[in-house]
Amino acid sequence: MADSSEHLITGLDIGSSAIKVVVAEAMEDGALRHLASAYVESAGVQRGVIVNVGEAAQAIARACYEVEEQLGRRLPNVAVNLGGPQVYGLNTRGGCSIIPPNREINQQDVAQAIEAARRTLTLDRRYEVLYEFPRAYLVNRQIGMADPRGMAGEELDVEIHYAVGPGASIQNLLKSLRLAHLTPAQVIAGPLAAGEALAHTFGEALREASSRAAHRRSLAVLNIGADTTTIAIYVGGAVWMSRTVPVGGATITQAAAKQLQLPIAAAEELKVRAGHCDLQRVDEFALVPLPSTAEHTGYMPRRELARSIQQGVYTLADALCPPLDDARQATVEPEVALLTGGCADLPGLETLLTQALDIPVRRALHGGIAGLPSGARQPAFATAVGLVLWQQRNRGEELQRATPRWPRLSFASPLANRAHRAHLPHVPQALHGLHLPRWLHHAKRAVSGVLPS
């Protein structure tokens, strides 16, 4: 295949501590091949949100310059993540009666059910819809339908997952990209990008952990970054919940610094160099030399370091419990949590989180791109890789064109796209006036799942 710009796919992960870029080439058989990657220190970003557009733009430009030097060309466009605790997902549900009863369901029925679900969506005017995912269909309350068309029934229901984020955060992100001379191909909610990177591991993880029917199986993806942690819960392979909590690896560092009475820089160095979460695996007589940033010389017991790290992990777990509890109250019980992100390499973390969250936690490695160098195989690159995989799933799809009644919403399912093109007569009041990003493509696949009662 000729190495032309149209075959390049770029994922740009703008994090609080680092900016990661992965560039891959789409091959003729649909496979992806790594071409370039970069990891640079971030600036102007706090808790996943851009707080200084100029500083963020400079850091983004530095990261992209590195990969452009490797490629010998400019990047045509990038798929970028939108982060921060205010980026989240919500589900709506709607349905319609099939008239006359028990006839075959057609596209117009699907459109009517999706429209009924849209009417139930209510958003604060400061928020914008990023994506719409028709994640599950029910015919006569029978769950697990990927495509209900052609089936006979009396009732059709659909559950839709919306990914939403603050309009101001989106505009600041776009301005930073513009100042860095980059064109956004897609803007994707951070929790979903991390889940995309690990999607190839879902089947094996659930087979090892589950005895339930396929449409009832659920798991969580935990992406622990510097200032934030994203959690995405999947049921039957379809996203059911997506949230971001304002805790991460820095929370663990701060707990260690406070308990050990050390500067933040010294606590971070100790955590990375000698940190551990499992006291049983730390020699009680082991000593760790203090780093130069500690402002004094000497040694400290490694177990004391491990105890201080444990306190930070418990704080992290406390923030993750409410989303998991919300899922359990809705009868969605994740059977396993897959761990990724820059903090996932902390030894013993999965063991301690398993105890604190009362759910098996396992490290998972991202994949889907051939030839990734060792640096880009680290968990910190999961979101950047997920962005590339997400964009690859959408390649070949046309950008969703606007209609006057619903300006810029994009759809995740071919069924939803056909419903949109049917020019439905009513647009829900909840969506009037929303400035929905026109640059977003729709995801390529329809997914099946379960509607918790």
Is there a contact between 271 and 294 (Cβ–Cβ < 8 Å)? no
Which pLDDT does position 215 carry in this prediction?
56
Closest-CA residue to 174 (of 212, 128, 211, 136): 128
What is d(CA 230, CA 245) in angstroms, rounded to the nearest whole number? Answer: 6
pLDDT value for 212 = 59
Around Cβ 425, how many Cβ atoms within 10 Å?
7
- Residue 210: pLDDT band (50, 70, 90) is low
Q: Across the chain, what does the average pLDDT equal?
A: 85
Beta bridge partners of 96: 156
Residues 6 or more apart whose CB falls under 8 angstroms from that of 65 comprise: none
Query: Comparing 76-80, 131-135, 232-236, which segment has the lowest mean pLDDT?
Result: 131-135
Q: What was the pLDDT predicted at 147?
A: 83
**What sign does the dihedral 253-257-263-268 (CA atoms) show?**
negative
**Residues near 373 by beta carbon (within 8 Å), at least 6 away in sequence:** 34, 37
pLDDT of residue 144 exceeding 90? no
pLDDT in tens, 56-83: 999 999 999 999 999 999 998 999 999 9
| Other Cβ atoms within 10 Å of 447 Cβ, number | 19
Residue 36 and residue 16: Cα distance in Å, rounded? 22
Query: pLDDT (tens digit, 9 = 90+) per residue, 216-228?
Result: 689 999 999 999 9
Question: 354 falls in which pLDDT band (50, 70, 90)?
Answer: very high
pLDDT at residue 262 above 60? yes
Is 155 within 8 Å of 110 (Cβ atoms)? no
Q: What are the C-alpha distances in Å from 28 to residues 2, 359, 395? A: 10, 41, 12
Q: Check pLDDT > 50 for residue 449.
A: no
pLDDT classification of 419: cutoffs 50, 70, 90: very low
Q: Which range (138-147, 158-167, 250-259) has the least confidence? A: 138-147
Q: Measure the CA dihedral 205/210/216/221, to 10°.
A: -30
Tokens of 356: 């604190």
HSE-CB of 433 using CA atoms within 13 angstroms: 8
Where residue 134 falls among pLDDT bands split at 50, 70, 90? confident
Question: Of 20, 27, 12, which is closest to residue 181 (Cα–Cα)?
Answer: 12
Helix (H, G, I), strand (E, B) or coil at 201: helix
Which of 38-47, 57-66, 226-235, 438-447 is the least confident region? 438-447
> pLDDT tier at 187 (50, 70, 90 boundaries)?
very high
Point out the least confidently predicted range of 28-42, 206-220, 277-291: 206-220
Which residue is it, tokens 């209510």? 122
Sequence letter at residue 283: D
Model confidence pLDDT, tens digit, residues 84-105: 999 999 999 999 999 999 899 9
pLDDT digits (tens, 9 = 90+) for 294-336: 888 899 999 999 999 999 999 999 999 999 999 999 999 999 9
Q: What is the mean pLDDT of residues 272-283?
A: 94
Candidates 403, 401, 395; CA nearest to 443 is 395
Share of the chain above pLDDT 90, in %: 70
Q: Read off the amino acid at residue 344.
A: A
Give the mean model confidence (pLDDT) for residues 28-49: 94
